Amino acid sequence: MGWQACVYTRAGRRDQANRFLEKSLPGASQPSSQARRLAEIYACLGEKERAYEYLEKMYAKHEGNFPHILEAPEIAWMRSEPRFTALRRKLNLAP
């Protein structure tokens, strides 16, 4: 679902992307990795602070797929940030 929000955002249909976001927020029926989905959606929407909030939550929960999301193309625009480099270092990944 997170990547569908990205497609809608890229297609200029931000309202539909926001609907996916609303379905993913706490209180909605959620899959096991809500933090990942929210990080993806916020990154696609360009909402850096919220994306980082959920990336940090993923790190705190020790989610096994966390390094993979850091390689996602939708998050590429965040890679030049010091916070992104800090997250990679926490995982012992090269900056």
Q: Tokens for 36?
A: 């990942």
Closest CA to 35 of 20, 14, 16, 50: 50
Is 16 domain-assigned? yes
Q: What's the chain's Rg over C-alpha atoms?
A: 13
Is 95 domain-assigned? no
pLDDT digits (tens, 9 = 90+) for 31-74: 547 788 888 888 888 889 999 999 999 999 888 788 888 988 88
Q: Tokens for 54?
A: 């959920």
Note the pTM of the prediction, 2 decimals.
0.72
Is 67 domain-assigned? yes
Contact present, 29 and 51 (Cβ < 8 Å): no
The upper half-sphere exposure of residue 34, i.e. CA atoms within 13 Å in the direction of its Cβ, equals 11
Q: Give me the domain span that covers residue 49.
A: 2-90
Task: State the amino acid at position 86 in one-letter form.
Answer: A
Is 63 domain-assigned? yes
User: Residue 27: which pLDDT band, with cuts at 50, 70 and 90?
Assistant: low
Give the chain's domain count: 1
* Rounded-to-integer distance, Cα 83 and Cα 30, Å: 27
